[in-house]
Chains A and B, each alone.
Chain A
């Protein structure tokens, strides 16, 4: 492991990579702060900008945006009760109440500190477990991968929102959209209506820009914004009592976040809500939650950061995205010609370890940036949305066009912008659709390969002879059947605690 880390430091600590990591976390923080933009949006919009970079530099910058946006999103959640990310929705409850009580500074500071501690702890575990999982996954053939894809699809359904059926429907929509284009198995063009632009499938980056950037922007025009609350540097000071109260929630949030983040498709939103739920159950100050308790800010933020790191376990090891943003990053990997999966650790060690080490560097930069500069970032909230959203539209269309230098990309962005807006207005969860879009082709590929191996015996017989595949399938069954059973036993819906429409 030491050798791998040294290799990672060598790759990540080049002046160019450090510079782009800094640019990434800075841009990410700004993107997280600005209403209407989130990590998935930011990464999707900026993929075209990174096309001329080396893959490692591009990924370091995009991962920096991902991490930075988590921090930035919390700033808006605390100061104007507008979560920049679905995962920071829960931070608005206690964070905004703390701010209204004149404790915006400590809320911002404890959020940054808790997120940093969680990020570092989860990264140590990530670095330790990822190679182990990758070695384990090396023995995986098409049947095992098929089982993993089924597990991924199951987690989408279960963790997609309070309405299990709705999550399933959106996941299926994603899979169906992914069916458009040339079929991986037979090479037949499906649902293209002779349109050459559709032979390569519905372009992923453009769909993401439409769903997240334009969809969120149009939705944002519907909502009024709360007046921003001032945060000054001297207000950031935390008391010893604050730190004492934050220690246990940070630890709990980190554990909850990391465990949930490792699941394919679970994302960071679930982690933040579960961490809040854990505080409601285990915290000594649970009666203060919702009224401006420090636990309600630090635990979800710690969980979000731990989950965002853990999301890279399924993404890098299995090639199955951990959440919506890692799904976009996975799309970026494919755009750069890199095939994620267990062989990635063997074939491209510099890329994998350089990327993982850059997470440490990026999080350190974020702490240095966020603690003293939070009040400065907060000033960005004073940029009028009247100027901001035309800029987002222009950037989205420019970025989309430059991916393939095609007008078709612009039309895809517009169509999916309207779709994304409609989905948000109707409370349809976006994340399952995105994950279905990503996992759909992978699932079909594994299915075709397994059917070729199985021959006349059938796919099921081959899958069920693999112990690893059976274990994974049992996990999938437990995930789907577990919550309704627990809910029936308890006599109340556990799904009510999970929000609909998570983006990550």
Chain B
């Protein structure tokens, strides 16, 4: 019967979210000029409720905590758990790669960046053979172009690869 730290942190985050909306709601009116519900009603009420529910969840966690881990609906045998350290490393790299890709898109364009991201994840993170990884990355670029640009006519950003940029030179 002990509280789990990560669970407690998540409950505190919920309380913080509720408190932020509750306090922020005071910038808006409680009721309109004609007596109707104002813009502040829902965030103030829901924010306060979230704070209260969050506190109740903290109390619940402190009281029963890890005990609830025993509540399992069913167990499937034969599924192996991967190495947690390796998984954690991979997750950090994948998240960083996605973040870097989002920052690169305005410079290198959407499709080239996504193709590059795919190549990096397949070849570097997953250590798959380079020719196959290149094929998958090229597939992302080509299929993405055919589907979104040619078929759906979505104007994707091409960054420095935009012909309009080159025509200025």
Which of A364-372, A395-403, A467-475 is the interface stretch?
A395-403
CB-contact partner of B47 in A48, A176, A444, under 8 A? A176
- Per-residue CB contact flags for chain A residues 190-225 toward chain B (1 = under 8 Å, else 0) read 110000000000000000000000100010011111
A56 within 8 A of B: no
Complex CA–CA separation, A190 to B126 (angstroms): 43
Chain A min CB distance to B112 (Å): 12
Complex CA–CA separation, A71 to B87 (angstroms): 30
A175 within 8 A of B: yes
- Per-residue CB contact flags for chain A residues 439-472 toward chain B (1 = under 8 Å, else 0) read 0100110011001100110010000000000000
Complex CA–CA separation, A251 to B1 (angstroms): 42
A136 within 8 A of B: no
Main secondary structure of the interface of A (DSSP, over half): helix
Main secondary structure of the interface of B (DSSP, over half): helix
Complex CA–CA separation, A402 to B111 (angstroms): 12
The answer on a CB contact under 8 Å between A169 and B57 is: yes
Instruction: Tell me the residues in window 91-135 of chain B with beta carbons closer than 8 Å to chain A beta carbons.
Output: 91, 94-95, 98-99, 101-102, 105-106, 110-111, 114-115, 117-118, 121-122, 126, 128, 132
CB-contact partner of B28 in A100, A190, A290, under 8 A? A190
Instruction: Tell me the residues in window 234-265 of chain A with beta carbons closer than 8 Å to chain B beta carbons.
Output: none
Given the known inter-chain contacts A175-B46, A176-B18, please indicate yes or no for A387 contacting B128, CB distance below 8 A: yes
Which of A15-23, A126-134, A323-331, A406-414 is the interface stretch?
A406-414
Given the known inter-chain contacts A51-B152, A386-B128, please indicate yes or no for A96 contacting B50, CB distance below 8 A: no
Complex CA–CA separation, A402 to B73 (angstroms): 40
Which of A61-69, A179-187, A313-321 is the interface stretch?
A179-187
The answer on a CB contact under 8 Å between A190 and B105 is: no
- For B10, the closest partner residue in chain A by CB is A426
Instruction: Tell me the residues in window 6-45 of chain B with beta carbons closer than 8 Å to chain A beta carbons.
Output: 6-7, 10, 14, 17-18, 21, 24, 28-29, 32, 34-39, 41-43
The answer on a CB contact under 8 Å between A186 and B39 is: yes
Q: Across the interface, which residues of B come within 8 angstroms of A410, CB to CB?
A: 102, 105
B81 within 8 A of A: yes
Given the known inter-chain contacts A179-B43, A451-B36, please indicate yes or no for A218 contacting B95, CB distance below 8 A: yes
Which of A32-40, A160-168, A340-348 is the interface stretch?
A160-168
Q: Across the interface, which residues of A come within 8 angstroms of B156, CB to CB?
A: 401-402, 405
The answer on a CB contact under 8 Å between A190 and B128 is: no
CB-contact partner of A185 in B36, B50, B90, B140, under 8 A? B36
The answer on a CB contact under 8 Å between A394 and B152 is: no
Q: Across the interface, which residues of B come within 8 angstroms of A390, CB to CB?
A: 117-118, 121-122, 126, 136, 140
The answer on a CB contact under 8 Å between B78 and A185 is: no
B53 within 8 A of A: yes
The answer on a CB contact under 8 Å between A414 and B98 is: yes
B148 within 8 A of A: yes
Given the known inter-chain contacts A176-B18, A394-B140, A398-B110, please indicate yes or no for A49 contacting B28, CB distance below 8 A: no
Given the known inter-chain contacts A186-B39, A401-B156, please indicate yes or no for A222 contacting B21, CB distance below 8 A: no
The answer on a CB contact under 8 Å between A169 and B114 is: no
B74 within 8 A of A: yes
Complex CA–CA separation, A245 to B140 (angstroms): 47
The answer on a CB contact under 8 Å between A451 and B35 is: yes
- For A436, the closest partner residue in chain B by CB is B46
Complex CA–CA separation, A405 to B74 (angstroms): 44
The answer on a CB contact under 8 Å between A394 and B37 is: no
A122 within 8 A of B: no
A173 within 8 A of B: yes
The answer on a CB contact under 8 Å between A173 and B14 is: yes
Known: A402-B148, A410-B102, A455-B35; 20 extra A-B contacts, CB below 8 A, are A48-B154, A82-B79, A169-B53, A169-B54, A176-B17, A179-B43, A185-B36, A186-B29, A188-B29, A221-B87, A224-B79, A386-B128, A387-B122, A393-B98, A393-B117, A401-B110, A402-B152, A405-B155, A440-B46, A447-B37
Binding site for A on B (CB under 8 A): 6-7, 10, 14, 17-18, 21, 24, 28-29, 32, 34-39, 41-43, 46-47, 49-50, 53-54, 56-57, 60, 68, 71, 73-74, 76, 78-82, 87, 90-91, 94-95, 98-99, 101-102, 105-106, 110-111, 114-115, 117-118, 121-122, 126, 128, 132, 136, 140, 144, 147-148, 152-157
